[in-house]
Each structure stands twice: as structure tokens, then as C-alpha cells.
Chains A and B, each alone.
Chain A
């Protein structure tokens, strides 16, 4: 069910590249594990992230989860509408539930992430 149009991380984020822009969100598996999302904290535009660094927090009624930068790069855009309506993370995690857009400092870094098949295997192994 995971689409080939993007890459995935072991921390259950997706990264979709369009030119020099990489859009980031959390996967359907992640939102399902979290449950109803009620709170979201995102970084400022312009912040430079290092791969693996925490860039925000997503909270459901019951759980708190950190968001980890899948690649290094500068934050170009933040989905500020989502902060006011974080339920889109549950209803449309791979679309309107996107969180940030970064410009990867190493354009090749996204290619090192999991492809759809590898990610699918990861979440099936977790069940």
C-alpha cells in the first residue's frame, strides 16, 4: 500500500522529492499507532536541520512522539495550517498531513532511505 513516489524512514516518516525540495510527513502506520492527533509542534522556516535531529513533536491524546529529520537541510516551508488542524495527520497522512519542506544539503541523501517495499516489510515485521 506504500507508494513508490517517495522514500521512508525507520522512524516512520516519508520524504517526497520534487526538484530540490523534499516534503516530509509521518506514515499511515505512524498515525495509526499514535491514534487521534491533537497537538503538533513544527520548526521555524529557515532552520537548518541535521539528519536524525528532532524537528518537532506530534501528540495524540495518549502518546507523545518526536519528529526526526530524515535528511539534513534547510526548512523551506512549514505546514502551519496543520498546526491548527492536526487531525489531517490521521485522515490524510501522506497528503494534507505533510509537515515541512526541506532543501536537502546533499541531494543524494534521500536515495539512501527505505523504498516502499523495504518500508512495507518493516511495518509488517512490527505487527
Chain B
């Protein structure tokens, strides 16, 4: 289902977002809520209580059949053999240059059945990429239109969700999922997210989404839950130093450069995959540049695209930058030459013509208490 050029696609919750007063903006070809009651309030609600996000624009591609594991081992960077049924894994679809077509989450739904969760802007690209691979004994199906995806995130997410679901959340570990119901609607309840908090992503049928959204707002409201937009989702993921495809990485940045060596498996059982040689060499010898986290030391907010200066010479650009509402600092990510990427290194960012000092800092900028 491709929308005509110039028209925005709408999730099953779009009408409800408007009704509930969300500010809607175009994002990756979709009309999405960027903000409900206010970005900072939504961000803090997720850190302290809970937030609810519509991420139905994300894609779901099913890979099934006797050859599914072998196929996924050849097209992803992480070791799919480590996945038990009911387990999820952060991974990427690498190219021969070691850069990702997309970063994805792979869910093992059965002995020979997997679901790849893809970024909204990359669904068609990922799907074509997978179809282009030699996949005997495997069926690749784009099921994105069959799922709405609601993310319930924050420390109070379990107590909000448990009374509504048949899944035993106390037995559901991080990066695991269970099939069950939520408020009577069949759902995949996955303990995953993109905020740096505990929380869940609920895959449900599109027509169930509005009623479920209302129910979660009603149940969570008294516990501090706020409906939240993509604005807060972006500042939350950045505080937790999670990369955003298209900003912090793309088809020109290797997974090692992006700091994602931990999703690149060099295990002998993994076998060959695109870019393995490059990635192995960079993992062992170090990449020429590294994606680092920085804090702005002077006055100003770094934004995507602002030039980065090392010894006053152009050395790249900011990939993500924002005021971070929980840590209350101006932070960001940028690529720096490996020789200038150590924690503590100072450099400058050209903020609309004004050089502003910044320093490489340890990441994540925010880490939740365990």
C-alpha cells in the first residue's frame, strides 16, 4: 500500500491523535504526532512514570520457512542463532561496505518464523533488499499494514500494563516477548523500546489500536502516564545514545564507526554476511572515525548538520543534537577522526557561524537505575 506522492500516510491512531489535541507533522512520509501536551513534560513523564507512543509507522517484515535462520544469518549482522523462540535482538542489514541498509529488531516468533521490525522510512528499501538476496526455502513478506505498534515506556509501564494483559510481565525479561492479549485484543507484548527505560512495545491489529490507546491512557493517567510524540521519542533515544537511522548512520557509515560493534557477530557459527571483512578489520584495528557523544560547553544548541571543527579545521558534522530535558544539557552525536575521539577531547561546533566549544563525553548521557 503505497501512498501517492505528496500525500502522507496515516496510522490507525491519526484521527485519535488529532482529537486528543496532538500537534501533527510529516515524518518519513507519515503524518505523526510530534507533541501532545509539551515535549519536556512528555520526556520527563517517561523518565519518571510512563509515556505512550504511536510507532505504527514502523514496518514489520516476516521471514519464514525452513531456510529462515540460514537466510537471516546471511543478511543481518548479529548472531540470529542466539535467539530462542520469544526472544528479540537488535541487529542491522549490512551492505558490502559494512554500513547498514537499516537497523532493525529481529523477533523469533517460531521455530522457523521471524519478524523484522524496520524503520518507517526504510520499509520498502529493506523489503526490496531482502527480496534481492538469494533466499531458497524462505518466504519474505511485508506485513507492515497488518500491525499497529504502540510503545508504553517508563518505570511504571509494568504496573500499568499488567492488569490489562494475559502476559506474565514479571517473567518477561528485557528483549523478550510473549503472545497474549491486551485488554482483550490479541497482541505481541515485547519488552523492548527506544527510550532508555523499561517498557513494552505492543503489536496489535490496526482496528484494535484506538480502543487500546484510550484504555492505556485511562489506566496509566492516574499513574503519571502521558501520551507522547515523536519529539520526546527523539530526545529520549538521544539521551540513551541510541542511533537514529538517516541521522547518525546511513549507507556510508559502518556499524563499527557508529559504535554498533556489539551487534556485529564474528562468531564462527555466524558465517559470512555482507561487509563482514570490513567490519572485522575495523573491529580489530579500529575504524578511521567514530561516532561520539558530546556536551556543548558554550552557549548554544548543536543541531543535525552543524559543522564540526577540530583544531579549527572542518572535520564532519553533527548528526544529532538537542537540549536534553532530563540531563538538562545541550548534547549530541557526531563523527570525529579516531585520533580525536577520546573522551575529554575538546573541539568546536559551528552553530550558525559561531564556533562553540564542545567536549567528548562518556555515553549514554543517561542510564536508568537498574
Binding site for B on A (CB under 8 A): 35-36, 38-39, 41, 57, 59-62, 64
Contacts and interface: CB of A to CB of B under 8 A. Distances in A.
Interface string B1-44: 00000000000000000000001000000000011001111000
B303 A61 contact: no
B300 interface: yes
Contacts of A41: 299
A62 B352 contact: no
**In this complex, which of A35, A39, A41 has the most chain B Cβ atoms within 10 angstroms of its Cβ?**
A35
B76 interface: no
Interface residues of B, number: 19
Given A38-B323, A39-B323, A61 B231 contact: yes
A121 to B, nearest CB: 22
A35 B40 CA distance: 9
Given A35-B231, A39-B323, A59 B301 contact: yes
B322 interface: yes
Given A36-B39, A64-B303, 18 more contacts: A35-B23, A36-B40, A36-B325, A38-B40, A38-B301, A39-B300, A39-B301, A39-B330, A59-B301, A59-B323, A61-B39, A61-B231, A61-B325, A62-B34, A62-B39, A62-B234, A62-B322, A64-B301
Interface of B: 23, 34-35, 38-41, 231, 234-235, 299-301, 303, 322-323, 325, 330, 352
Contact of B352 (A35, A38, A57): A57
Nearest to B354: A41
Given A35-B231, A38-B323, A60 B303 contact: no
B235 A61 contact: yes
A74 to B, nearest CB: 24
30 contacts: A35-B23, A35-B35, A35-B39, A35-B231, A36-B38, A36-B40, A36-B41, A36-B325, A38-B40, A38-B323, A39-B299, A39-B301, A39-B323, A39-B330, A41-B299, A57-B352, A59-B301, A59-B323, A60-B39, A61-B40, A61-B231, A61-B235, A61-B322, A61-B325, A62-B35, A62-B39, A62-B231, A62-B234, A62-B322, A64-B303
A65 to B, nearest CB: 12
A39 B299 CA distance: 9
B330 to A, nearest CB: 8
Contacts of A39: 299-301, 323, 330
**In this complex, which of A38, A57, A59 has the most chain B Cβ atoms within 10 angstroms of its Cβ?**
A38
**5 smallest A-B Cβ distances: which pairs?**
A38-B323, A36-B40, A61-B39, A62-B231, A36-B39
A35 B38 contact: yes
Contacts of B330: 39
B352 A61 contact: no
B22 to A, nearest CB: 12
**In this complex, which of A36, A41, A60, A64 has the most chain B Cβ atoms within 10 angstroms of its Cβ?**
A36
Contacts of B303: 64
Contacts of A61: 39-40, 231, 235, 322-323, 325
**In this complex, which of A38, A39, A57, A61 has the most chain B Cβ atoms within 10 angstroms of its Cβ?**
A61
Contacts of B38: 35-36
A61 B301 CA distance: 9
Contacts of B235: 61
Contacts of B352: 57
A64 B318 CA distance: 15
Nearest to A38: B323
